[in-house]
Amino acid sequence: MSIFIIKVKDIIDSKGNLKEFLHIKESKTGHPARIYLNDTVKEALNYYFDKTKGIDPDSYLFKSEKSSRKLDRVRVWGLIQQWLKEAGLEGERYGTHSLRKTWGYQARMQGLSISQIQNKLGHKSPAITSRYIGIDQEEINNVEKEVCI
């Protein structure tokens, strides 16, 4: 399941409350993944549901403004470009993949270990995760200089 085919019923329980986790299957690997819906995400989803006037459990969470069809990746890219422009970042080349990489980088900056990030991103090795989020040899060398053994 990708972000484009999440249905409302995937995040709403039988009582109409937002679930704690979204359970998906990684489209690239086929592995199951669990995404925590924190308070900020829940607040945004509640705002979204209020704006869209009602919740149809069988509808796509992210759907076209003109129909009930799911968003395609081109439209998602266009929306991200629109938001970048509104944020004053026009001309930057960001997309859904950039957001994924940024999550990994920010998680590392907040203290998550490489192995935790590796697990969350579904990478096969810590080396792949390190390259993916931009850890280079110079940074490793600087850390080693500061660590006393």
pLDDT digit string, tens, across residues 17-35: 999 999 988 777 777 888 9
Are 67 and 51 in contact by the 8 Å Cβ rule? The answer is no
Of 39, 49, 40, 60, nearest in space to 16 by CA: 49
| Predicted local confidence at residue 4, as pLDDT | 56
Put simply, whether the predicted model's pTM sits higher than 0.85 gets the answer no
Domain ranges of the chain: 3-68, 96-140
| Predicted local confidence at residue 145, as pLDDT | 75
Q: Is a pLDDT exceeding 70 seen at residue 54?
A: no
CA dist., res. 143 & res. 63, Å (int): 45
β-sheet bridge partners, residue 60 = 7
Residues 94-141: tens digit of each pLDDT: 888 888 898 999 998 898 999 999 988 888 899 999 888 887 777 767
β-sheet bridge partners, residue 21 = 36
The DSSP call for residue 82 is: H
Reduced to 3 states (helix: H, G, I; strand: E, B; else coil), residue 43 is: helix
Are 105 and 133 in contact by the 8 Å Cβ rule? The answer is yes
| Predicted local confidence at residue 1, as pLDDT | 45
Mean pLDDT of the chain: 84
| Predicted local confidence at residue 3, as pLDDT | 54
Length of the chain: 149
- pLDDT-based confidence at residue 61 (cuts at 50, 70, 90): confident
